[in-house]
Amino acid sequence: MRRFAPLIPAGGRVLDLAAGAGRHARLLLDMGFMVEAVDREVVALLPLTGPRCTVRAIDLETGDAWPLGGGYQGIVVTNYLYRPLLPAIVAAVGEGGVLIYETFMLGNERFGRPRNPEFLLHPGELLDACVGLTVAAFEQGEVTAPRPAMMQRIAAINGAVGRLPYGRYSAASGRGARSGGAKLRSCCNDGTMRRASAMRPGSICAVTIPSRSPPSASTSPHGSTINEWP
């Protein structure tokens, strides 16, 4: 999240969905954004309440209509999946806004929780959900830090992609820096990081959509290991 947050328009309004203890909300506030932090339980978030941070206690899994409006310059979702919300989340990204989404995928059951398939993304599911946005980065596979898990991640923009923010991993050079004792060995399902400049606005044509076959019990879906996004 830290690497792609600079894609969010400066000072923009950012929705931190399923904000948990507020780790990302705090980072976003430190970066100068206006933050709306939402979760079912908000006790840990209340200290963040202030002129630039609104905390809202909402149960998003009641089946009611999406209660959070739209036009956000950024939406951040980590370690959370309730599939009926995916269309509303994507639709709530404003023009020029950025969606940063990261959570567990099928295959994680061999490492621990979550094991329930309802809480595990299918291979390429975030790509399918973000049709209509421009994909700046996509990864899926096995991570070793902060703990072994199967993860899927996307950064997608409602508009054209400009210069990518380079962090600890350089897509241009293909060199992976060590983080938490792990090295990024591959990104997209064919082992490459695709440059956003190769994509049209509203297109994911430059990203190879992976097979929908389930991962094996002993390897990642495409034999890749990826490190935690900075």
Query: For 175-203, how does the pLDDT look when each residue is reduced to its tens digit (9 = 90+)?
Result: 333 333 233 333 333 333 333 333 333 33
Asked whether residue 59 is assigned to any structural domain, the reply reads: yes
pLDDT digits (tens, 9 = 90+) for 63-122: 999 999 999 999 999 999 999 999 999 999 999 999 999 999 999 999 999 999 999 999
Asked whether residue 205 is assigned to any structural domain, the reply reads: no
Number of domains making up the chain: 1
- pLDDT category of residue 164 using cuts at 50, 70 and 90: confident
Is the N-terminal amide bond of 114 cis, ω within 30° of 0? yes
Radius of gyration of the chain (CA): 17
pLDDT value of residue 160: 87
Asked whether residue 220 is assigned to any structural domain, the reply reads: no
Decide if pLDDT at 152 tops 90: yes
- pLDDT category of residue 166 using cuts at 50, 70 and 90: low
Model confidence, pTM: 0.75
Asked whether residue 206 is assigned to any structural domain, the reply reads: no
The first and second tokens of residue 30, run together, are: 């430190």
What integer best gives the mean pLDDT of the chain? 78
Decide if pLDDT at 169 tops 50: no
CATH number at residue 146: 3.40.50.150
Asked whether residue 101 is assigned to any structural domain, the reply reads: yes
Residue 125 domain boundaries: 5-198
Asked whether residue 133 is assigned to any structural domain, the reply reads: yes
Distance CA 127, CA 140 (A): 11
Asked whether residue 213 is assigned to any structural domain, the reply reads: no
Asked whether residue 74 is assigned to any structural domain, the reply reads: yes
pLDDT value of residue 34: 98
Written as one letter, the residue type at 48 is L
